[in-house]
Amino acid sequence: MSQLIKVTRPTKIELIKLRRRLTLASRIQKLIKDRVSILVMEFLQIAGQTVEVKKGLLDDFSAMYKALSLAAGYHGYIALEKELTASEGGLEVAAGLRNIGGVKIPAFELKKDKTTLRGYSLIDTSSWLDRTAELSEKCLEAIVELAELQRGMAQLGMEINRTKRIVNALEHLIIPGLQATIKYLNMKFEERDREEKSRLKRVKVLLERK
């Protein structure tokens, strides 16, 4: 691929500057490449976990609805609704951030109520309702975990895309461009040396003739 050679003036100082810039660009390229590989590793791990959690959530949902329909059949809808209205409670989720190689990913944690009571009468209800409540709590935890994982996956995906573009720009455009310019300057200096040598030889011959 032909490279664009941009030199303001072909001097030794310019060559030194370009060499320094090339060293910096290569250093950054190596680091960013490592960062991409780490981000990809984390992305794949999160993707795997997302699949696991989603599968578990679907299983829990199906078990929960099964238990709920059994509880509804056992108690009747009106009695069940009466019991469950009293059990409504707030949900507390601690939200923060965690950082994976410079990518901020949300971290959620469902705060568990320390009391074991669920708000409905244990005497008037059956163990089917207990089972339903237990499974729905499990589902809630999985939903919060899934939200964290899916958002994390999206964030990581975007960052991988962005970083890959930088790596590609460095690898295919900036570094080859700098190398081509350095090569061009070196050739220019060699040419100057050759010109200088031939000029000196010519002067020497002229002086000898005199």
Which of 5, 11, 17, 168 contacts another protein by CB under 8 A?
17
Q: Does 176 bind another protein (CB under 8 A)?
A: no
> In angstroms, what is the minimal distance from the CB of 197 to another protein?
31
Tokens of 102: 């410079």
Separation of alpha carbons 87 and 132, rounded Å = 13
Window 21-60: contact mask with another protein (x via CB under 8 A): x--xx-xx-xxxxxx--x--xx--x---x-----------
Residues in contact with another protein, counted by CB under 8 A, come to a total of 35
The residues in 68-107 that bind another protein, with binding defined as CB under 8 A, are 94-102, 104, 107
Say which amino acid occupies 91.
Answer: L
> In angstroms, what is the minimal distance from the CB of 151 to another protein?
14
**Angle between helix 12-75 and helix 127-169 axes, rounded to 10 deg:** 170
> In angstroms, what is the minimal distance from the CB of 132 to another protein?
25
Separation of alpha carbons 199 and 204, rounded Å = 9
Separation of alpha carbons 160 and 113, rounded Å = 38
